[in-house]
Chains A and B, each alone.
Chain A
Amino acid sequence: MTGMWSKLRQQPWIWSFIAMIAVWLATIIFTRGQGAGDILTAALSFATFTIVIGLGQMMVITTGPGNVDLSIPATITLSGVVAMKIMDTDNARLLIGIAAALGVSFLVGLFNYGLIRLLRIPPIIATLSSSFLILSTAISYGRGIRIKPPPMLDDFATAKVLGVPVAAIFVALLSLAIAIVLKRTRYGRTVLAIGQNPRAARLAGLNVDLTRFATYVLSALLAGVCGIVLSGFSGGAALNMGEGFLLASIAVVVIGGTSVAGGRANVPGVWGAALFIYLLDTMLNVFGASAGIRLIMTGVIIIAVITIAGGDRAQRS
């Protein structure tokens, strides 16, 4: 038992899970056990979206210092707006809508990497400025009208099996796939290698440019998927639907134990961290804290978790 614990303690993701369980327990103790299961179900439903984009952000951050995708919220919005407008509440147009939304997401990834590679703009600036362009495109295309999702998409986004959201099951499979890709494919190894030392990666014969390109495209595509499903979940696309996802996408990566310095990714940690952030919000709501207090507490508790976890000291020094 102690052997297992000391092994577990080495895992950078364990702290996000401990924090998540602690927050959940605190909440249900406060409510005297009422709604324990419902809270988890709701957390899974909402966290699913953060996890999808968190995985994309994790891949980008893993490719090394300076790499980050700030265009995720704008891409979510554009994808949602395009999907809803093309589907036009019609089940028959579902697939075309998905294809179109993923198509524009792909173009976003292509555009981002073009700015980074061809114009040599640092990723943080490139993706920030492209997000203004993306959001403007969404505004002029969607004209601010909220279009309802087709019934099938609505059903899929809100369906549950034994209290577990169906979307969460799909995201679990996606996470598993990404974990395998990281560990057991040439692409995944290249992502990890670039994050440690891009020059050495190139000299080891790995394709650095193609891998970076694929990673920014992957992040944009995952944001696109998030946009489509989120539109179904929340009854249509809105121009502010990406709000809050910027900080969340980076926070789940960092709390989850992925190295900000690059080269080390952590898939389970993204899950623990996303659930933790949502449950933390729920807990503060249940405690009846005011909005100001909630924000302060969220900041303080996130800092505390990162400090206590501290497994990867190198990334903070």
Chain B
Amino acid sequence: MPKVAVELTRITKSFGAVRALGGVDLMLAEGECLGLVGHNGAGKSTLMHVLAGTLRPDSGSLAIAGEDVSAHFSAATASAHGIRCVFQELSLCPNLTLVENARITHRALKGFGWKARARKLIAAKLDEIFPNHGIDVDAEAGDLNIGQRQMAEIARAFTVTDEPLRVVILDEPTSSLDAVTAKQLLTFMRREVAKGVSTILISHLLGDVLDHCDRIAVMKDGKVVAERAARDFTRNSLVAAMGAAAETKSVRQIRSRAAKISTEIAVAATPETAGRTASLTVNKGEIVGLAGLAGHGQTRMLIQIFEGARKPGGATKVAGEAAFIAGDRQSDGIFNLWSIGENTTVSSLKTLRRGPLIAADREAEMARDWKERIGIRTPDMNDNILTLSGGNQQKALFARALGSKADIVLMDDPMRGVDVSTKLEVYDMIRKEAEAGRSFVWYTTEIDELSHCDRAYIFRNGAIVAELGPDELTEDKVLHASFAESA
């Protein structure tokens, strides 16, 4: 019997009327990787915040290595006991360099020469986890793209100075990573587990969880509803345990829509980020993917198209209005002080007017309508946006763009933290909207998602290096094109 690293007993937590955790028991052994899955708002992140000491549970107890610490548990105690976490909402200070950020979690890095030691520490760990990462550790965190920030945050969580490294919580760690870096991380995680570190992996990518975890716990409505060895689960039984509508097979839906897509051109653009590059066109009613390794100019392409729609007559031709769905919702998407409703309607204010003023009833109606259509889990759309879990915030951003009149919808890897059944609903919505004549430009780090696209462009170093047709959107081809020297 392996030793117990952490044990949570009957943990409850409520936020106002919403019960996020309804008596959760969870045990983690030393040198074990536990997968934690469940829908948006099932309570996964809340539970992990309790374990990390950043949220105080209403009741229940917590023991680390057999020692009951519930009485005075805080983030500092958690850290002293070797609990590290990488949360969905990344926590690096944007105005500090990565080296300085490393210092924040390591009090031991002090005195003369702390900077050199911190630099060595974080750079070595980045090299170890993500060989050839190309991240400058002296860059300010705010200047890195979301994928690089996530890599830095993960590396920081695994660095060791004076405090032990016992448990690492990884909440959607691969959501902003491309296939290659995600693989590097999961391989590294297994190596650490073999050394005796325990990890908790939260992910909506069930394949990752099934392949890399020893044991899987399924959460639903604030409770653990199933807990078994990973090998006893299959993809389908896992989805069934989450209580979702059975996942349709992720076999490519032969879209055979080519005939239906109009020949009218909605977007014609050439990336401004590279000298030698191919161009991009999007037809009306088409779903076009942007792929390649994360952070190679896809987001900038989307913003270029977005700006092109606002300034007619430029080099980037866009026929119609464009809406942007942020993947980096903290910095590009949500308005923290506003309600869920206000966040949803902000791009549609022109159409919600009666005379010169925004009509309160029509605004409330739109919010209610989208709460139903996209299934935002909240008792009241007038509650603040931050009362929602990450995935539900993302749904509000989808509602904002899909509810607007935009002819072209630009999606910046928008499925970060969104659960399987919502994803399927959104894919469905996108397809219907495309058939109705809306065009979609979709940057994704999940190669599987490209199966919903009609075509895809592969980006490398800011340039478009390949265009793949519907039959070529396989992992092999995409990865091959991402790395191949451009012709």
Contacts and interface: CB of A to CB of B under 8 A. Distances in A.
A204 B357 contact: no
Contacts of B356: 185
Nearest to B346: A204
Contact of A186 (B335, B336, B337, B350): B350
A200 B331 contact: yes
Given A196-B337, A200-B334, A206-B346, A189 B323 contact: no
Contacts of A185: 356-358
A23 B358 CA distance: 39
B336 A184 contact: no
A203 B356 CA distance: 23
A206 B358 CA distance: 15
Interface in B369-424: 400, 404, 406
Nearest to B345: A189
Nearest to B331: A199
Contact of B358 (A184, A197, A264): A184
A270 B331 CA distance: 31
Interface of B: 303, 306, 321-324, 326, 331-338, 342, 346-347, 349-350, 353, 356-358, 360, 400, 404, 406
B326 A186 contact: no
Contact of A197 (B303, B336, B404): B336
Given A205-B324, A205-B406, 14 more contacts: A184-B357, A184-B358, A189-B346, A196-B338, A197-B334, A199-B332, A200-B334, A200-B335, A203-B324, A204-B324, A204-B347, A205-B322, A205-B347, A264-B337
19 contacts: A189-B346, A189-B349, A189-B358, A192-B338, A193-B335, A193-B338, A196-B338, A197-B334, A197-B335, A199-B332, A200-B331, A203-B333, A204-B346, A205-B321, A205-B347, A206-B346, A206-B347, A263-B337, A264-B337
A204 B358 contact: no
Interface size class of A (residues with CB under 8 A): 10 to 19
Contacts of A200: 326, 331-335
A62 B335 CA distance: 14
Given A180-B357, A184-B358, A203-B324, A196 B404 contact: no
B350 A196 contact: no
A186 B324 CA distance: 18
A180 B331 CA distance: 28
Contacts of B332: 199-200, 203
A184 B321 CA distance: 23
Contacts of A184: 357-358, 360
A189 B338 CA distance: 10
A193 B400 CA distance: 14
Interface string A171-203: 000000000100011100100110011011101
A199 B142 CA distance: 13
B251 to A, nearest CB: 34
Contacts of B353: 186
B326 A196 contact: no
A184 B363 CA distance: 10
Contacts of B331: 197, 199-200
A205 B358 contact: no
Contacts of A204: 324, 346-347, 400
A189 B342 CA distance: 9
B328 to A, nearest CB: 10
Contacts of B338: 192-193, 196
By Cβ-Cβ distance, the 10 closest A-B pairs, closest first, are: A184-B357, A203-B324, A196-B335, A186-B349, A184-B358, A205-B347, A263-B337, A204-B347, A204-B346, A196-B337
Contacts of A263: 335-337
Contact of B323 (A186, A192, A197, A205): A205
Nearest to B306: A203
Most chain-B CB neighbours within 10 Å: which of A184, A185, A199, A206? A184
Nearest to B324: A203
Contacts of A192: 335, 337-338
A185 B354 CA distance: 10
A186 B358 contact: yes
Contacts of A206: 346-347
A38 to B, nearest CB: 39
Contacts of A259: 337
Nearest to B321: A205
Contacts of B337: 192, 196, 259, 263-264
A192 B336 CA distance: 11
A203 B326 contact: yes
A259 B358 CA distance: 24
B486 to A, nearest CB: 30
Interface string A243-263: 000000000000000010001
Contacts of A197: 331, 334-336
A108 to B, nearest CB: 27
Nearest to A194: B335
Most chain-B CB neighbours within 10 Å: which of A200, A206, A263? A200
Nearest to B357: A184
